[in-house]
Amino acid sequence: MSDPRSDGARDPESLRSHQWYGTEGLRSFSHRARTRQLGYLPEEHLGKPVIAVLNTWSDINPCHVHLRDRAQAVKRGVWQAGGFPLEFPVSTLSETFQKPTPMLYRNMLAMETEELLRSYPVDGAVLLGGCDKSTPALLMGAASVDLPAVFVPAGPMLPGHWRNEVLGSGTDMWKYWDDRRAGLIGDAELAELENGLARSPGTCMTMGTASTLTAAAEALGVTMPGASSVPAVDSGHDRMAAASGRQIVGLVHRDLRLSRILTRAAYEDAVATVLALGGSTNAVIHLIAMAGRSQVRLTLDDFDRIARTVPVLANLRPGGQYLMEDFHFAGGLPAFLAQLSDVLHLDRPTVAHDSLREQLAGAQVHNREVIRPRSNPLADEGGVAVLRGNLCPDGAVIKHIAAEPHLLRHTGPAVVFDDYRTMQRTINDPSLGITADTVLVLRNAGPKGGPGMPEYGMLPIPDHLLKEGVRDMVRISDARMSGTSYGTCVLHVAPESYVGGPLALVRTGDVITLDVAARSLRLEVSDEELERRRGEWSPPPAKYQRGYGALYSEQITQADTGCDFAFLSRPGEVPDPYAG
């Protein structure tokens, strides 16, 4: 690992912040005077790299509630390496509390990140996040402004406990909630579970969306080695944060910008990592959007192609057995990636090393049950499959590693719900005639229809079937699902029903065929009948008349292209502000 102090310091006049602080004009005089107002001496900041510490801490975000302390560790590292840290509070995206979904606001945080870094006297940035949407948002914004940057993952929470069981957040929540609906446990057990599911600050300790995306960030090369799995409350997390602060100063001196890290090769390696981890389907959307900000075209076909080249080696819930703390002490992502070295681009740089090869040198697996060898994979192919067919002409995804095997090829009649509230109200209605063979279909839950593409895709199984022992069914929607969820859930159907995609034309009783091996999702209705139905379809009214929601609705793209804003994802130059 490079020592930030060993790199020759840049000429202070070449620093971006010099425009604000180092010239002879009135504006620089004013900026220096205002920095004195902040209580800083000239020797504390003049001629030093100014490092923005972007902090998504909030009192209502349990994934990030410890980041106020971690920001202090980052700043300590920046000071030690000869930089000048400034902390910026930015939007907190809380998966647990924010409605209708923090996905609605991912692009807002990306905009905030980009414009803060662009408009202030910043030479480099340390980005603190981890809860699902914060990782892609921070990296999308930082990639757009293209400064040196290091990402500090929030880290997974401690394992959950209930009686003599180890719990995984999200995954066991769904499991025991269904047990409650099936009459297998009561209110007393549920109250105990409420106290045991989430025992500390940090992100979900399963391989949900948060851990999937922080692992993707590490695979991209924008974190310190091993950073993505350090438990949030472990003292090693403080040390990692301080090391990140030290490292960013050296990156500024070397002018190692994100555009040199976030290359096509890096994104392909991140995709391979996600698939070999059996990671969240949400990573498909986010990595496509992140790559777009780096001017790299990443598609669903890339995911499907790479999925056929990598096995699933992480035995982690919801698709496996263990939790993130087990993964960390088994060797973490460096040891995991070392098992995939034959499919990775090893000669690309990371923020910590001149090459990924150097970063992985000497990494060892300490528990072969948690990180499986290639000779004993959890599954022979990557954990996410991309589907095509007349129901999803622009694609859909399924996390087949978390599905019941007998449902991976299934034909059954559809029961269609026009919105999530209706589904909640009527799912147990006996008149619907839902059986274990039924295909549950939810529409108007996509990027525009949701709005924001909420995590509605793990549709509940009716109570009467749960009591009969049914725990999985084929479910199809244009929504997303939590990365901690499981089941035979076809997600991200594109184009979405709200804009007239084929999902809008499905009727209760129509037969649908899912064939994961063939990568196919088909509505068994003739083209002529679908055209007739299309002629009868009319667009729903706009959900927002004004405000951010209206901007979102006007600019959001579909799931297969990353759900970014059209005006942010297109190529084009943005000038640096004139600071004089």
Q: Would you say 127 and 142 are in contact if contact means Cβ atoms under 8 Å apart?
A: yes
- Cβ(109)–Cβ(131) below 8 Å: no
Tokens 């990030």 — which residue?
64
Of 436, 438, 401, 429, the closest CA to residue 315 belongs to 401
Tokens of 138: 């921070």
- Residue pLDDT, tens place only, 529-551: 999 999 999 999 999 999 999 99
Which residues have a Cβ under 8 Å from the Cβ of 562 and sit 6 or more positions away?
285, 286, 288, 289, 290, 291, 292, 569
Averaged pLDDT for residues 305-321: 97
Which residues fall within 8 angstroms of residue 410, CB to CB, at 6 or more apart? 437, 439, 474, 488, 513, 514
As a whole number of angstroms, the distance between CA 495 and CA 447 comes to: 10
- Which one-letter amino acid corresponds to residue 147? L
- Write the CB contacts of 283 (distance below 8 Å, at least 6 apart in sequence): 209, 212, 213, 216, 274, 483
- pLDDT of res. 1: 55
**Residue range 487-529, pLDDT digits in tens:** 999 999 999 999 999 999 999 999 999 999 999 999 999 999 9
Q: Count CB-CB contacts under 10 A for residue 419.
A: 16
Bond before 148 cis per omega within 30 degrees: no
Flag whether pLDDT at 159 surpasses 70: yes
Per-residue pLDDT tens for 164-218? 999 999 999 999 999 999 999 999 999 999 999 999 999 999 999 999 999 999 9
Q: How far apart are CA 314 and CA 176, in angstroms?
A: 24
The pLDDT of residue 3 is above 70: no
Count other C-beta atoms under 10 Å from residue 357's C-beta. 14
Dist. CA 367–CA 389, nearest whole Å: 41
| pLDDT one-digit tens code per residue, 346-357 | 999 999 999 999
Q: From the CB of residue 539, how many other CB atoms can be counted at a distance below 10 Å? A: 9
What is the enclosing helix (H) or strand (E) of 246?
helix 235-254
**What's the CA gap between 101 and 121, in Å, rounded?**
33
Query: Count of H helices and E strands in the chain?
Result: 22, 14
| pTM (global) more than 0.85 | yes
Here the tokens at position 80 are 């030690």
In whole angstroms, give the CA distance from residue 2 to residue 251: 10
* Averaged pLDDT, 49-66: 98
| CA separation for the pair 405, 428 (Å, rounded) | 25
Quote the CA–CA distance of 43 and 28 in Å, as a whole number: 16
Amino acid at 2: S
Give the model confidence (pLDDT) of 454-484 as tens digits.
999 999 999 999 999 999 999 999 999 999 9
Helices 300-307 and 264-277: angle between axes, nearest 10 degrees: 60
CA distance 57 to 65: 6
How long a stretch of residues is the chain? 580
Asked if residue 490 lies in contact with residue 477, where contact means CB atoms within 8 angstroms, the answer is: yes
| Angle made by CA atoms 569, 574, 580, in degrees to the nearest 5 | 155
Residues paired with 167 in a beta bridge: 160
Helix (H) / strand (E) containing 120:
none
Q: How far apart are CA 206 and CA 324, in angstroms?
A: 6
Instruction: Report how far residue 253's alpha carbon sits from residue 161's, in angstroms, rounded to the nearest whole number.
Output: 46
- Helix, strand or coil, per DSSP, at residue 440: strand
Question: How many angstroms separate the CA atoms of 304 and 299, rounded?
Answer: 9
How far is residue 482 CA from its own chain's centroid? 10
Judged against a pLDDT cut of 80, whether residue 243 lies above it is answered with yes
- Beta-ladder partners of 221: none
Average pLDDT, stretch 122-137? 98
Q: For position 580, what pLDDT does the model report?
A: 86
CA distances from 291 to 116, 259, 564 (A): 21, 11, 11
Tell me the chain's radius of gyration from C-alpha atoms.
24
Residue 264, sorted as left (phi over 0), alpha (psi -120 to 50) or beta, turns out to be alpha
Q: How many CA atoms lie within 13 A of 47 on its CB side?
A: 7
Rounded to whole angstroms, the Cα distance separating 208 from 288 reads: 18
pLDDT at position 579 over 50: yes
User: Residue 8's pLDDT is what?
Assistant: 73
Q: Which residues pair with 474 in a beta bridge?
A: 439
d(CA 77, CA 71): 10
The answer to whether the CB of 367 falls within 8 A of the CB of 326 is: yes
The SS3 call for residue 386 is strand
Between CA 564 and CA 156, with CA 298 as vertex, the angle to 5 degrees is 70
Element (DSSP H or E) covering residue 513: strand 511-515
- Whether the pLDDT of residue 7 is over 70: the answer is no
Mean pLDDT of the chain: 97
